[in-house]
Structure 1
Amino acid sequence: MLGEPGPDDASLLRLLQSAVRVPDHGKRVPFRFIRIAGPVRARLGEALAGILLRREPDASAAMVEKERQRFCHAPVVVAVVAVLDPEDRQIPEQERLLSAGCTCFALLQAAQSLGYGASWVTGWPAYDADVHGLLGLSANERIAGFIHLGTPTAEVPERDRPDPRALLTDLSL
């Protein structure tokens, strides 16, 4: 959980200034950002709960509450949107999508460097057409991630990481 304070306007712009310094083949800037903050977080949660209940009328109260709270675990959430112009045949879509993903990671790193906690989340809302409509996404846009930003309220334990030696192979021709 990430508590108050979250980044103010100036701090968020500083974070985003760092986040946009990512590989971007062809300088297409294949990403944009949507800030989800303040009372909008709860309203978006209510909308998610409504979508869930339309699709699963028998959803448990706990499932509905989880959706209501989905964007309330941090004071600021930034939706990183991949902008994938279908007319752009010069730069492969995968490279543009990877650039948006790099932006997510760069935003995490920038937040930590300024003392904020950050978490990169997707979940079903990242892939849902109704949610995309609520967020104002066009047909050529996808969610690369929801970056939750705030002040760490507890130490996050380090998770197990793979041994890089087990992942590395040498090409031999």
Structure 2
Amino acid sequence: MTINPARPNPAAMEFLATRRSRPAKTLTGPAPDRAALTSLLTSAVRAPDHGKLEPWRLIVLERAALDRLARLAADKGAALGIAPDKLPKGVAQFADSPLCVAVVYVPRSTEKVPEIEQILSAGSVCLGLVNAALAAGWGASWLTGWVAHERGFAQDAFGLGKGEWVAGLIHIGTEGSPPPERPRPDIDAITTWVSA
């Protein structure tokens, strides 16, 4: 094992080695209040962001907004012909959530930073928010589904501008019973070491 000359943070490494999202359907209230959530959001946006473009924005959905979006999902989903096996999941994502943060990808026009790097930055904000919530003792889950990807619904629900889309719906609340551990990737099977 190589000795690290830097200053290691064993607690952070232990957190990263054992972190796991909590299924959204197991989250209950209470959720973080605005002050606590602001701290989580501040941590989440410390994401890789080449060119300091901030190619994302955040929409905090509190209880009344979640109830409104659950109704909108039921009505608009039925009108759009969303499959009966998918419609309830989209509705429940809002109806059952104690708190949700929509991370919206916002493309920035620049020749300096390719679009893919901006997209990856938005994804980093999603993971950063899940990890910040977990580190603060909350349960958190990153979901999408038809309510994120169906343009007509997402545009009405989140006020999307031109070129914007939902990178993630981050649900945060009090963790119910912890889920069992799931199988993790076999590092040897997916890693290639190149030494020359």
What's the TM-score once normalised by structure 2's chain length?
0.80
Alpha-carbon distance between aligned partners in 1 of 2:167 and 2:27, rounded to the nearest angstrom: 21
Alpha-carbon distance between aligned partners in 2 of 1:169 and 1:95, rounded to the nearest angstrom: 23
- 1:72: how far off? 2.6
Q: 1:149 aligns with which of 172, 176, 184?
A: 172
* Alignment correspondent of 1:40: 65
Q: 1:77 aligns with which of 90, 96, 100?
A: 100
Alpha-carbon distance between aligned partners in 2 of 1:118 and 1:76, rounded to the nearest angstrom: 10
- 1:65: how far off? 4.2
93-102 vs 73-82, which deviates more? 73-82
Alignment of 1:4-43 (within 5 A): 4-43=29-68
Alpha-carbon distance between aligned partners in 2 of 1:94 and 1:102, rounded to the nearest angstrom: 12
List alignment gaps of at least 5 residues for structure 1. none
| Structure with greater strand percent | 1
112-121 vs 130-139, which deviates more? 130-139
Q: Aligned partner of 1:77: which letter? A: C
Alignment of 1:94-105 (within 5 A): 94-105=116-127
Moved over 6 A (4+): none
The size of the alignment, in residue pairs, is 170
Contact 1:42 1:68 in 2 (8 A): no
Indicate the percent of aligned positions where both proteins have the same amino acid.
41
Contact 1:42 1:69 in 2 (8 A): no
Alpha-carbon distance between aligned partners in 2 of 1:94 and 1:88, rounded to the nearest angstrom: 12
* Alignment correspondent of 1:119: 141
